[in-house]
Amino acid sequence: MIKILISFSLLVCLSNALKKGDCEVCIKTIQNFASQLSETSKKSTTEIENDFKTFCKRVAIGKEQRFCYYMGGDESSATGILSELSKPLSWSMPVEKICEKLKKKDSQICDLRYDKQIDVNTVELKNLKV
């Protein structure tokens, strides 16, 4: 009975972990944002939230802008979960874990993916789907 419980709990833990390629926009955007934070602002959740809103104003239109919209950093966002970003960042939680937690709150955040760049010289165009 105990073996079954342990194996089930391990299965649940592994299913919650991010796979390679999951949340790529989330991870990259938060890494870019966190690298721009000063040491003093990393400790305050309100400063992190304010800095994220200014970061989102500078972000070009694209996947990062959509991420800002989902998080509530965009001015046109209806709702926001910025506290789910600011608290773990102030605790110095790894970016991958932050994105795992954000995925539980809003699965759309991890549905964002960058477009694949295709090298026309090396790809057989007959095999590509239109």
Q: What domains sit in the chain, N to C, each tagged with a CATH number?
A: 21-115 (1.10.225.10)
Confidence of residue 83 (pLDDT cuts 50, 70, 90): very high
Higher per-residue confidence, 99 vs 123: 99
**Cα dihedral sign, 109-52-17-9:** negative
Q: How far apart are CA 39 and CA 24, in angstroms?
A: 25
How far is 42 from 40, CA to CA, in rounded Å? 5
pTM for the model stands at 0.77
Output the average pLDDT for the chain: 85
Task: Check pLDDT > 90 for residue 129.
Answer: no
For residue 17, pLDDT beyond 90: no
Structure token pair of residue 125: 């165009």
